[in-house]
């Protein structure tokens, strides 16, 4: 893997901070100064400021994010973060973001390539939200949410919408713009009172109380990888299914 990813996996720093360490000459690989394009193999010896570091095992965690926690690894205001809630030897970081008062399903991992693909709009990872709103959305409001509403950054993609109660709706989205659900509901005249993500990429919170987490099963991580596997281009070569 690339050197900055190795340092991130080792819990030394984020990839961006790791790049700064490399450019400052503080990282060596097998005794030689590391470069931004250096790739690290299993048997290579990596040191930062003369101290050896080792990449951590890959970890995948599903957290039931409670209200009042920040979706970052650290917070300058001293607020509790989602990373504080996960007690693992590996350093995991959140995939995407949920607002501080939003609750629900949040994936954390130190698998950078998978996290990047899951967060990339190209793959349209499914996210299901249960939303308590002001007022009572009518059929016209629900149809607008389903077909797309005009926001300041453009029209939203079609969404699946269900009315669960007079002031509660379920929205299934395949895009992830900043504060999208809140902005969509405001656009149809029903500001959000409470927002909860019930499902992320097929992962539900069954059995998880707020603030609790669990590691994913191998079958779940494999399904996530298949979900964001790049499609094979027409005419490309490859093994045919047996």
- Share the mean pLDDT of the chain: 91
- 48 and 20 together in one domain: yes
> Does the annotation count 99 as an active-site position?
yes
Residue finishing a domain among 35, 53, 71: 53
Q: Tell me if 138 sits within 8 A of 190, measured CB to CB.
A: no
- 99 and 219 together in one domain: yes
Query: Which pLDDT score, from 0 to 100, does residue 71 have?
Result: 94
CATH number of 132's domain: 3.30.70.1560
Convert the pLDDT of each residue in 167-222 to its tens digit.
999 999 999 889 999 999 999 999 999 999 999 999 999 999 999 999 999 999 99
Residue finishing a domain among 53, 74, 93: 53
Q: Which residues pair with 162 in a beta bridge?
A: 170
Residue 26 lies in a domain: yes
Convert the pLDDT of each residue in 81-95 to its tens digit.
999 999 988 889 999
Instruction: Region of 16 please: left (phi>0), alpha (psi -120 to 50) or beta.
Output: alpha
Residue 238 lies in a domain: no
CA 196/CA 204 separation, integer angstroms:
12
Q: Which is the catalytic residue, given 84, 99, 138, 153?
A: 99
CATH number of 24's domain: 3.10.290.10
Residue 241 lies in a domain: no
Residue 99 lies in a domain: yes
- By residue range, what is the domain housing residue 7? 3-53
Residue 236 lies in a domain: no
- 141 and 187 together in one domain: yes
| Domain total in the chain | 3
- 66 and 112 together in one domain: yes
Cβ neighbours, 10 Å, residue 24: 9
- 39 and 91 together in one domain: no
- 187 and 78 together in one domain: no
Residue 234 lies in a domain: no
What is the maximal distance between C-alpha atoms in the chain? 67
Q: Please report, rounded to a whole number, the percentage of residues in the chain having pLDDT higher than 90.
A: 74
CA 92/CA 107 separation, integer angstroms:
9
């Amino acid at each position: 893997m690339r050197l900055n990813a190795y340092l991130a996996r080792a819990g030394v720093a984020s990839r961006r901070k790791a790049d700064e360490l490399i450019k400052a000459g503080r990282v060596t690989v097998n005794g030689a100064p590391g470069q931004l394009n250096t790739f690290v193999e299993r048997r290579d010896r990596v040191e930062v400021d003369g101290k050896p570091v080792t990449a951590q095992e890959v970890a995948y965690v599903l957290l039931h994010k409670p209200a009042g926690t920040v979706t970052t690894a650290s917070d300058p205001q001293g607020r509790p973060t989602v990373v504080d809630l996960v007690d693992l030897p590996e350093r995991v970081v959140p995939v995407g973001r949920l607002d501080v008062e939003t609750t629900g399903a949040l994936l954390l991992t130190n698998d950078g390539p998978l996290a990047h693909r899951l967060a990339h709009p190209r793959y349209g990872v499914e996210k299901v939200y249960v939303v308590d709103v002001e007022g009572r959305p009518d059929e016209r409001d629900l149809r607008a949410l389903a077909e797309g509403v005009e926001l300041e950054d453009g029209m939203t993609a079609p969404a699946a919408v269900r009315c669960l109660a007079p002031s509660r709706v379920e929205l299934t989205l395949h895009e992830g713009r900043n504060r999208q659900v809140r902005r969509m509901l405001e656009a149809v005249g029903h500001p959000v009172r409470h927002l909860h993500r019930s499902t992320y990429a097929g992962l539900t919170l069954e059995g998880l109380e707020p603030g609790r987490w669990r590691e994913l099963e191998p079958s779940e991580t494999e399904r996530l990888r298949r979900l964001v596997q790049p499609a094979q281009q027409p005419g490309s070569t490859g093994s045919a299914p047996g």
